[in-house]
Copies of this chain bind each other. A is one copy, B any other.
Amino acid sequence: MTYLLGIDGGGTGCRAALADMDGHVLGVGKSGSANIMTDMNTARLNILDATEAALIAAQIDPSAISSISAVLGLAGANVGGNSAQLQAMLPFKNSLVYSDGVIALQGALGDHDGTVVILGTGSAFVSRSGADIRFAGGWGFNVSDLGGGARLGRDLLEETLLAHDGFHPSSPMTGAVMERFGGNPHRIVQFAHSARPSDYGSFAPMVFDYAAQEDKVALAILRKTVGQIEEGLDAIMAGTPMRLSLLGGLGPLYEPLLSPRYRARLQKPLNDALTGAVQLAVKNFAEVTVGVIYG
């Protein structure tokens, strides 16, 4: 008996879905972070932990691991030789390592062509046209990831200090942020000194909440940010009838803010990224190409 496995691994955790050769999920498991750029070995261990949990959930003997054909979608897989390096370290019968964006796109669009924008702490654009998959953005918090929660949160803190200095207008939102830091701008500076992207990202929901209340600073931040997202879409989708899905925690929050030309193409994601990984495992390892006889 052989099995298929889908893995969805990122900075916050790793999920595994064990499936039969038709793609029916038999058991799922999860474990810790699996970003192969940050830490290859931790990623490998967490991939194996999640897989073992999925095997146990499916009541299948762990020794079956060597008969598994796996598709892994992992953060950091698109950098340098990371994928090949990990592939060689895995105990599965077959392993295919993709960027996490590829399984997210497959999950969201199924077999349709189109574009997904992943809007979580970071951001990334993934687009498919036939066999051609293109990535854009997603180069990280410091110099990219426009539209992601970390950039939104950082913008909010910057605007709060600009309002404190009287350089930009204040608003109920900047007042609320200042209050969270005890009215002391130096505490914002201290926070920013050691803040990770996810720490900045924790402020992102505030921007959407206050925008819903017509907060002028919140609206200005989102106007700028939606403009940046649409510049990306203009570059990728202009003049095509491609479908579009916004994924990640912030995806649904951005949907109503898009311009009509993109709102009209929005499709709810069909499935999640883990399901996308299982689908790709079916495609790569299980589908029998049926010969069709014409005539």
A→B interface (CB under 8 Å)? 79-80, 125, 136-137, 139-140, 142-144, 154, 157-158, 161-162, 165-168, 185-186, 188-189, 192-193, 195, 231-232, 235
> Chain B contacts of A188 at CB under 8 A?
139, 143
Inter-chain pairs besides A137-B167, A162-B231, 9 sampled, C-beta below 8 Å: A125-B165, A136-B165, A137-B165, A139-B192, A142-B154, A142-B195, A143-B158, A143-B192, A144-B189
> Quick one: closest B residue to A232, CB to CB?
B167
Q: What separation, in Å, do the CA atoms of A139 and B161 have in the docked complex? A: 8
> Quick one: closest B residue to A154, CB to CB?
B143
A14 nearest CB across to chain B (Å): 22
CB–CB A136/B166 < 8 A:
yes
CB–CB B144/A161 < 8 A:
yes
A24 nearest CB across to chain B (Å): 38
> Quick one: closest B residue to A236, CB to CB?
B166
Q: What separation, in Å, do the CA atoms of A142 and B193 have in the docked complex? A: 7
CB–CB B79/A139 < 8 A:
no
CB–CB A192/B235 < 8 A:
no
From the candidates B142, B161, B193, B231, name the one contacting A167 in the complex (CB within 8 A). B231
CB–CB A192/B140 < 8 A:
yes
Q: What separation, in Å, do the CA atoms of A235 and B185 have in the docked complex? A: 18
CB–CB A158/B144 < 8 A:
yes
Q: What separation, in Å, do the CA atoms of A235 and B158 have in the docked complex? A: 16
> Chain B contacts of A165 at CB under 8 A?
125, 136-137, 232, 235
Q: What separation, in Å, do the CA atoms of A232 and B167 have in the docked complex? A: 5
Q: What separation, in Å, do the CA atoms of A158 and B228 have in the docked complex? A: 12
Given contacts A144-B161, A165-B136, contact A186 B79 (CB under 8 A): yes
